[in-house]
Amino acid sequence: MKECHPPKHEVPGSNERVLTDFHCQIKGNLAFLDYRIDETQHHSNVKYAQSFRHLDIFERRQKKWSVIKGMQVQIFDDPLIAQVDPATYDAFVGQYELTPGMGDLITRQGDKLFGQDLPVGQEAPGVDRTELLPESPDTFFIRGDPTRMTFLKDQSGKVIRLVLHFPDREIVREKKIR
Protein backbone atom coordinates (compact mmCIF):
# COMPACT_ATOMS: atom_id res chain seq x y z
CA MET A 1 0.00 0.00 0.00
CA LYS A 2 2.84 2.37 0.79
CA GLU A 3 4.19 2.01 -2.76
CA CYS A 4 0.79 3.01 -4.20
CA HIS A 5 0.95 6.50 -2.67
CA PRO A 6 2.90 9.13 -4.65
CA PRO A 7 5.48 11.29 -2.87
CA LYS A 8 4.06 14.31 -1.10
CA HIS A 9 4.08 17.56 -3.07
CA GLU A 10 6.01 20.54 -1.83
CA VAL A 11 2.90 22.73 -1.53
CA PRO A 12 0.91 21.49 1.48
CA GLY A 13 -2.75 20.80 0.72
CA SER A 14 -2.43 21.42 -3.04
CA ASN A 15 -3.18 17.81 -4.00
CA GLU A 16 -4.50 14.80 -2.12
CA ARG A 17 -4.66 11.12 -3.04
CA VAL A 18 -6.50 8.68 -0.79
CA LEU A 19 -6.51 4.93 -1.39
CA THR A 20 -9.26 2.78 0.16
CA ASP A 21 -11.33 -0.36 -0.30
CA PHE A 22 -8.47 -2.78 -0.96
CA HIS A 23 -9.16 -6.29 -2.22
CA CYS A 24 -6.44 -8.88 -2.82
CA GLN A 25 -6.70 -12.34 -4.32
CA ILE A 26 -3.87 -14.81 -4.97
CA LYS A 27 -4.21 -17.59 -7.55
CA GLY A 28 -1.05 -19.65 -7.97
CA ASN A 29 1.77 -17.34 -9.05
CA LEU A 30 -0.61 -14.43 -9.80
CA ALA A 31 -1.96 -11.86 -7.36
CA PHE A 32 -4.71 -9.34 -8.06
CA LEU A 33 -4.91 -6.13 -6.04
CA ASP A 34 -7.75 -3.71 -6.67
CA TYR A 35 -8.55 -0.55 -4.77
CA ARG A 36 -10.27 2.83 -4.97
CA ILE A 37 -8.34 6.07 -5.56
CA ASP A 38 -9.89 9.43 -4.63
CA GLU A 39 -7.85 12.36 -5.93
CA THR A 40 -8.38 16.03 -5.14
CA GLN A 41 -6.43 18.80 -6.84
CA HIS A 42 -6.53 22.45 -5.86
CA HIS A 43 -5.83 25.17 -8.45
CA SER A 44 -6.33 28.70 -7.15
CA ASN A 45 -9.85 28.69 -5.67
CA VAL A 46 -11.05 25.71 -7.71
CA LYS A 47 -11.14 22.15 -6.40
CA TYR A 48 -11.16 19.19 -8.82
CA ALA A 49 -12.08 15.73 -7.52
CA GLN A 50 -11.90 12.41 -9.36
CA SER A 51 -12.33 8.79 -8.30
CA PHE A 52 -10.91 5.67 -9.90
CA ARG A 53 -10.97 1.91 -9.48
CA HIS A 54 -7.44 0.54 -9.98
CA LEU A 55 -6.29 -3.04 -10.59
CA ASP A 56 -2.68 -4.27 -10.40
CA ILE A 57 -1.77 -7.80 -11.46
CA PHE A 58 1.37 -9.22 -9.92
CA GLU A 59 3.34 -12.28 -10.95
CA ARG A 60 5.70 -14.19 -8.69
CA ARG A 61 9.03 -14.97 -10.34
CA GLN A 62 11.97 -16.36 -8.43
CA LYS A 63 10.34 -15.61 -5.04
CA LYS A 64 9.72 -11.96 -5.95
CA TRP A 65 6.38 -10.30 -6.83
CA SER A 66 6.40 -7.91 -9.81
CA VAL A 67 3.60 -5.88 -11.35
CA ILE A 68 2.92 -7.20 -14.85
CA LYS A 69 -0.22 -5.19 -15.64
CA GLY A 70 -2.04 -2.20 -14.22
CA MET A 71 -5.29 -0.60 -15.28
CA GLN A 72 -7.76 1.92 -13.94
CA VAL A 73 -11.15 3.31 -14.83
CA GLN A 74 -12.78 6.48 -13.61
CA ILE A 75 -15.85 6.00 -11.46
CA PHE A 76 -18.60 8.46 -10.73
CA ASP A 77 -20.40 8.33 -7.41
CA ASP A 78 -24.05 9.22 -7.63
CA PRO A 79 -25.41 11.82 -5.23
CA LEU A 80 -28.26 10.99 -2.90
CA ILE A 81 -31.64 11.11 -4.59
CA ALA A 82 -33.49 14.17 -3.29
CA GLN A 83 -37.07 13.96 -2.04
CA VAL A 84 -38.91 16.06 -4.61
CA ASP A 85 -42.64 16.31 -5.24
CA PRO A 86 -43.16 14.65 -8.68
CA ALA A 87 -45.94 17.17 -9.39
CA THR A 88 -43.17 19.74 -10.00
CA TYR A 89 -41.90 17.66 -12.96
CA ASP A 90 -44.66 18.96 -15.24
CA ALA A 91 -42.87 22.33 -15.47
CA PHE A 92 -39.76 20.61 -16.90
CA VAL A 93 -41.57 18.62 -19.61
CA GLY A 94 -40.88 19.87 -23.13
CA GLN A 95 -38.30 20.09 -25.86
CA TYR A 96 -35.05 21.99 -25.42
CA GLU A 97 -32.97 23.05 -28.42
CA LEU A 98 -29.19 22.70 -28.14
CA THR A 99 -28.31 23.58 -31.74
CA PRO A 100 -30.62 24.26 -34.66
CA GLY A 101 -32.40 20.98 -35.32
CA MET A 102 -31.06 19.05 -32.29
CA GLY A 103 -32.09 18.97 -28.66
CA ASP A 104 -33.42 17.06 -25.68
CA LEU A 105 -36.97 15.87 -25.12
CA ILE A 106 -37.99 15.77 -21.45
CA THR A 107 -41.04 13.63 -20.64
CA ARG A 108 -42.81 12.46 -17.52
CA GLN A 109 -44.38 9.09 -16.85
CA GLY A 110 -46.06 8.74 -13.48
CA ASP A 111 -43.63 9.85 -10.76
CA LYS A 112 -40.58 9.69 -13.05
CA LEU A 113 -38.86 12.19 -15.34
CA PHE A 114 -37.08 11.05 -18.52
CA GLY A 115 -34.75 12.63 -21.07
CA GLN A 116 -33.69 11.66 -24.56
CA ASP A 117 -31.69 13.23 -27.41
CA LEU A 118 -33.88 13.79 -30.46
CA PRO A 119 -34.02 15.99 -33.53
CA VAL A 120 -36.24 19.00 -32.81
CA GLY A 121 -39.88 18.31 -33.59
CA GLN A 122 -39.48 14.53 -33.46
CA GLU A 123 -41.21 12.66 -30.65
CA ALA A 124 -40.41 9.07 -29.83
CA PRO A 125 -41.54 8.60 -26.21
CA GLY A 126 -40.21 5.40 -24.69
CA VAL A 127 -37.41 4.88 -27.21
CA ASP A 128 -33.86 5.37 -25.87
CA ARG A 129 -35.02 7.51 -22.99
CA THR A 130 -33.13 7.73 -19.72
CA GLU A 131 -34.54 8.30 -16.25
CA LEU A 132 -33.52 11.60 -14.65
CA LEU A 133 -33.10 11.44 -10.87
CA PRO A 134 -33.45 14.55 -8.69
CA GLU A 135 -30.36 15.86 -6.91
CA SER A 136 -32.32 18.95 -5.87
CA PRO A 137 -35.73 20.37 -6.87
CA ASP A 138 -34.34 21.70 -10.19
CA THR A 139 -31.14 19.67 -10.81
CA PHE A 140 -31.16 16.09 -12.09
CA PHE A 141 -28.62 13.35 -12.81
CA ILE A 142 -28.37 10.00 -14.57
CA ARG A 143 -27.07 7.03 -12.57
CA GLY A 144 -23.31 6.59 -13.11
CA ASP A 145 -22.99 9.77 -15.18
CA PRO A 146 -21.25 12.92 -13.89
CA THR A 147 -23.38 15.22 -16.07
CA ARG A 148 -26.01 17.30 -14.30
CA MET A 149 -29.09 19.01 -15.76
CA THR A 150 -30.41 22.16 -14.16
CA PHE A 151 -33.69 23.71 -15.23
CA LEU A 152 -33.72 27.53 -15.14
CA LYS A 153 -36.86 29.59 -14.59
CA ASP A 154 -37.71 33.16 -15.48
CA GLN A 155 -38.98 35.68 -12.91
CA SER A 156 -42.53 34.35 -13.22
CA GLY A 157 -41.39 30.79 -12.42
CA LYS A 158 -41.74 29.42 -15.97
CA VAL A 159 -38.96 27.01 -17.05
CA ILE A 160 -37.09 28.59 -19.98
CA ARG A 161 -33.74 26.75 -20.21
CA LEU A 162 -31.95 23.52 -19.49
CA VAL A 163 -28.30 23.83 -18.45
CA LEU A 164 -26.04 20.79 -18.91
CA HIS A 165 -23.06 20.69 -16.54
CA PHE A 166 -20.15 18.53 -17.72
CA PRO A 167 -17.14 17.94 -15.44
CA ASP A 168 -14.59 18.61 -18.18
CA ARG A 169 -16.43 20.98 -20.51
CA GLU A 170 -18.17 24.29 -20.47
CA ILE A 171 -21.82 24.61 -19.60
CA VAL A 172 -24.27 24.28 -22.47
CA ARG A 173 -27.52 26.23 -22.31
CA GLU A 174 -30.49 24.81 -24.13
CA LYS A 175 -33.53 26.99 -24.82
CA LYS A 176 -36.98 25.54 -24.12
CA ILE A 177 -38.83 25.73 -27.41
CA ARG A 178 -42.10 24.07 -26.44
> Do 45 and 107 belong together in one domain?
no
> Do 102 and 155 belong together in one domain?
yes
Which parts of the chain have pLDDT scores under 50?
A: 9-10
CA atoms within 13 A on the CB side of 117: 4
Specify the CATH number for the domain of residue 94: 2.40.128.50
- Residue 4: what pLDDT? 59
- Residue 67: what pLDDT? 95
Residues with Cβ within 8 Å of 5's Cβ and at least 6 positions away in sequence, in order, are 17, 19
* Predicted TM-score (pTM) of this structure: 0.64
Sign, CA torsion 132/135/139/145:
negative
> Do 69 and 97 belong together in one domain?
no
Range of the domain at 70: 2-75
- Which DSSP letter does residue 60 get? E
- Residue 150: what pLDDT? 94
CA atoms within 13 A on the CB side of 20: 5
- Residue 7: what pLDDT? 55
> Do 68 and 92 belong together in one domain?
no
- Residue 11: what pLDDT? 54
